[in-house]
Amino acid sequence: MLAVAMYMALLACLQAQELQGHVSIILLGATGDLAKKYLWQGLFQLYLDEVGKGYSFSFHGAALTSTKQGQEFIAKVLESLSCPEDVAPGRCAELRGQFQQLSQYRHLRTSEDYMALSKDIEAQLQHRGLREAGRIFYFSVPPFAYADIARNINSSCRPGPGAWLRVVLEKPFGHDHLSAQQLATELGSFFQEKEMYRVDHYLGKQAVAQILPFRDQNRKALDGLWNRHHVERVEIIMKETVDAEGRTSFYEEYGVIRDVLQNHLTEVLTLVAMELPHDVSSSEAVLRHKLQAFRALRGLQKGSAVLGQYQAYSEQVRREQRKPDGFHSLTPTFAGILVHMDNLRWEGIPFLLMSGKALDERVGYVRILFRNQAYCAQNEKRWVADQSQCLPRQIIFYIGHGELGSPAVLVSQNLFRPSLPSKSWKEVEGRPGLHLFGRPLSDYYAYSPVREQDAYSVLISHIFHGRKDSFITTENLLASWVFWTPLLDSLAHEVPRLYPGGTENGHLLDFEFSGTQLRFSQQQLEQLVPGPGSAPKPSDFQVLQAKYRESPLISAWPEELIAKLAEDIEATAVRAVQRFGEFHLALSGGSSPVPLFEQLATRHYGFPWAHTHLWLVDERCVPLRDPESNFQGLQAHLLQHVRVPHYNVHPMPVHLHQRLCAEEDRGAQMYASEISALVTNSSFDLVLLGMGMDGHTASLFPQSPAGLEGTQLVVLTRSPSKPHERMSLSLPLINRARKVAVLVMGRMKREITMLVSRVGHEPKKWPISGVLPSSGQLVWKDPVKSFCDGDTSFVGRAVMEVVQTIQVL
């Protein structure tokens, strides 16, 4: 009976193999660089892996090249194909010959060409008596060609009923959120989501592909460690020694953030940060958890990035694109980005993403560095790698190149001995003298692949087997662009730091972080005054003094300005608490006060937060969780980092009864009543204001009477920009404050700064001109001086446009 059962099982297996059917693979752009370097080899590897397993294949190389030239090119490429080391030379030659027989070149341009291809495939199937399993179209072409090709495939070259279609797309998938959405919509009109496979070749790199299996196989050891309580930071790095020469037309359009960080490094970040599904083999579960990780990414600010450009880049652009001699590119070739996640697992943990060209080495890695809270009584010389908790504790997914030279997974021996699949990963042999991340290789449990595989070979196999989790869905793609586009827009006119390239970079590109801000460790001298000689330092100049609106104005450098303003706010708070037992601070929203919030959160540990009441000067009529909400900005940059009693935080009631700023809900009156009940004489101790480019302050806008006069303390107003509906403190309430500071940041406000300096008291035209505390003298000044009771302080950006003279020390 057992023998009969085994025979039946074998027969069923053979029948299943026979029924698997025929697969046609069409490589579009078959004569291009990507196809030549990787894709033909990847297709050959697929054939090596699948031959004899029940499928038959045909490979069609297609391009716009003439038939003769295309055939010659393909023949040359096929001759160079290689086999893995474990395949005998004779067997390799035999399989390469079979692959060559199955491969052909054809010219594809018109819908008739695609119809002819489909008929040829059908004729081949009929002639050989084969069932069609499916067709794979690999788009190794520029995105501008996608629409025409997609239309032709959809109308003329789809497989018949019962067979699947898989369309493989190469990046770039758009330039920003809008263009990505347009491209996705266009492709979605021809293909179903399940038919599209967007390639990010980093997901095929063996160390990256091992992240989720590693987390799954070591779930027991990692469950207690993989979180904000134990992880100190995560570094995701891709460094290149080559520059952009020969590719400047592409690089000028995309730059390093769009080329590497928005896709490769962000995809890796989601693999590290996502919640681990119960079943990591489920593509649907993996993609769903990745999307949740995308949605937990905290929005980026301009201060979250540092940018660089190697010195020869602009000259390369001028030469390759025939730009005029005076052309200087602003395209970054280096970027460091600080990312945070808004979820319980990773709250407060910095994820550092960095990539650049013309750097000192070629290497890629993901490094998870764990906190070290141990103290070891013995001398450091007696510390043992697998026992001492004082040694660094880290897990590294080494993507490739660098000193190690190959993919690897490294785990500090004082963490745990990891479990990896023994059939595909092996322990790395000892290499005396090799140090990685500050420790000898012997301090790690180190594993490398049994057989190294090219990323494209891995991904082509996953396409064939329908493994969607190794590819980018439309939803995940758009979520990534939602995250990156605002930062890219804000950096569009930023001047990157120049660096010489290679080992000469020294420490010029080193950066450090504080809160949500990233900055270069080494301050580069800025050329403030045109002319010969070396660039001056900030310390080479005296504080700029002048008159502003007939009152003293003192301007300072931005970093100094923020630091001094924060010091003065703390001093004012301490005095208020000493005198009255509490401090009432009203804060504006927007981007200008963000550096101040972060300065207060990270540098002022003597601030009397426990006795401070925080109020909002104005609010957008959106839910408080909305990224547009001023309260959300205050929460992200200040509240979550300091200990203010929750009952001392007073958000504006813009969202009542599931409505936003409805007059009948009387939200403005509620806020006014709360102020009257808690703030003596409704006089805040300090109000921080900004100034818009139209002269508005708080949410009091020109040509709008709401809130400029009268007895109302809090009003509903309308902004000319979205979201239009706002709630704001009124000008009379603001002018009751003991102190008012007006913080103006940004070069774009130069014109309004100069204009307001010349106007009188015209709040209906320029609401900022109506700021005049009723109990004191109007003084526009730099926060180098301490606040005086009842004055207004105007905090200017180091603006030479306001002050026409500079005194050199």
The full 3-state SS of 706-726, as one line of letters, equals: CCCCCCCCEEEEECCCCCCEE
Looking at residue 433, its pLDDT comes to 86
CB atoms within 10 A of CB 325: 6
What is the rounded CA–CA span in Å between residue 168 and residue 170? 7
Q: State both tokens at 178.
A: 């809008």
- Does residue 624 sit in helix, strand or coil? coil
What residue type is 359 in one-letter code?
Answer: L
Provide the 8-state DSSP code for 443.
Answer: G
What is the rounded CA–CA span in Å between residue 301 and residue 337? 10
Mention the CATH class of domain 21-170.
Answer: alpha beta
What is the rounded CA–CA span in Å between residue 331 and residue 313? 9
CB atoms within 10 A of CB 717: 24
| Topology of the domain covering 544-804 | Rossmann fold (3.40.50)
The H or E element that residue 152 is part of is helix 146-156
Q: Are 216 and 276 in contact, with CB atoms under 8 Å apart?
A: yes
What residue type is 495 in one-letter code?
Answer: V
Looking at residue 498, its pLDDT comes to 94
Give the residues across from 134 on adjacent strands: 23, 164
Q: Are 661 and 716 in contact, with CB atoms under 8 Å apart?
A: yes
Q: Are 74 and 66 in contact, with CB atoms under 8 Å apart?
A: no
Q: Are 770 and 706 in contact, with CB atoms under 8 Å apart?
A: no
The two beta strands, 686-690 and 583-587, are parallel
What residue type is 368 in one-letter code?
Answer: I
- Does residue 498 sit in helix, strand or coil? strand
For residue 313, give Cα distances in angstroms to 261, 321, 520. Answer: 19, 12, 20
CB atoms within 10 A of CB 614: 20
Q: Are 135 and 166 in contact, with CB atoms under 8 Å apart?
A: yes
Length of the chain: 809
CA dihedral for 535, 537, 538, 542, sign (positive or negative): negative
Residue 371: which residues within 8 A CB-CB, separation 6 or more? Answer: 229, 230, 231, 232
Phi/psi for 585 (5° steps) reads -120, 125
Closest CA relative to residue 684, chosen from 787, 554, 566, 564: 787
Looking at residue 336, its pLDDT comes to 97
- Does residue 301 sit in helix, strand or coil? coil
Looking at residue 546, its pLDDT comes to 52
Q: Long-range pairs for 347-351 at CB < 8 Å and ≥24 separation?
A: 347/228, 347/640, 348/228, 348/640, 349/228, 349/231, 349/232, 349/233, 349/234, 350/233, 350/234, 350/513, 351/233, 351/234, 351/236, 351/269, 351/272, 351/273
Annotated catalytic sites, by residue? 264
Exposed e or buried b for every residue in 373-401, given b needs 16+ CB within 10 A? eeeeeeeeeeeeeeebebbebbbbbbbbb
What is the rounded CA–CA span in Å between residue 637 and residue 299? 11
Looking at residue 751, its pLDDT comes to 77
Provide the 8-state DSSP code for 337.
Answer: E
The full 3-state SS of 170-187, as one line of letters, equals: ECCCCCCHHHHHHHHHHH
Q: Where in the chain is the domain with CATH 3.40.50.720?
A: 21-170
Residue corresponding to tokens 């001699």: 325
Looking at residue 242, its pLDDT comes to 96
What is the rounded CA–CA span in Å between residue 316 and residue 779? 51
The superfamily CATH assigns to domain 203-370+389-491 is: Dihydrodipicolinate Reductase; domain 2 (3.30.360.10)
Looking at residue 742, its pLDDT comes to 86
Q: Are 496 and 312 in contact, with CB atoms under 8 Å apart?
A: no
- Cis peptide bond upstream of 723, omega within 30: yes
Provide the 8-state DSSP code for 415.
Answer: T
Q: Are 589 and 692 in contact, with CB atoms under 8 Å apart?
A: no
What is the rounded CA–CA span in Å between residue 329 and residue 309? 9
Alpha helices for 189-332 (secondary structure H): 206-209, 211-217, 219-222, 248-256, 266-273, 283-295, 313-321
Task: Report pLDDT digits (tens) over 559-584.
Answer: 778 888 899 899 999 999 999 999 99
The two beta strands, 408-412 and 444-449, are antiparallel
What is the rounded CA–CA span in Å between residue 413 and residue 432? 17
Orientation of helix 455-464 relative to helix 40-50, angle to 10°: 50
Q: State both tokens at 9.
A: 């099982």
Closest CA relative to residue 332, chosen from 365, 303, 358: 358
Task: Report pLDDT digits (tens) over 67-103.
Answer: 899 999 999 999 999 999 889 999 999 999 999 999 9
Residue corresponding to tokens 């060209």: 357
Looking at residue 781, its pLDDT comes to 37
Give the residues across from 742 on adjacent strands: 689, 794
Q: Where in the chain is the domain with CATH 3.30.360.10?
A: 203-370+389-491
Q: Where in the chain is the domain with CATH 3.40.50.1360?
A: 544-804
Provide the 8-state DSSP code for 216.
Answer: H
Residue 481: which residues within 8 A CB-CB, separation 6 or more? Answer: 174, 176, 177, 180, 181, 262
What is the rounded CA–CA span in Å between residue 308 and residue 334? 5
Q: Is 82 exposed, middle or buried (0-12, 13-18, 19+ CB in 10 A)?
A: exposed
Phi/psi for 12 (5° steps) reads -65, -40
Q: Are 474 and 184 in contact, with CB atoms under 8 Å apart?
A: yes
Q: Which residues of the chain have pLDDT under 70?
A: 1-19, 385-386, 523-556, 746-750, 776-809
Q: State both tokens at 322.
A: 């025939």
Residue corresponding to tokens 């995309």: 254
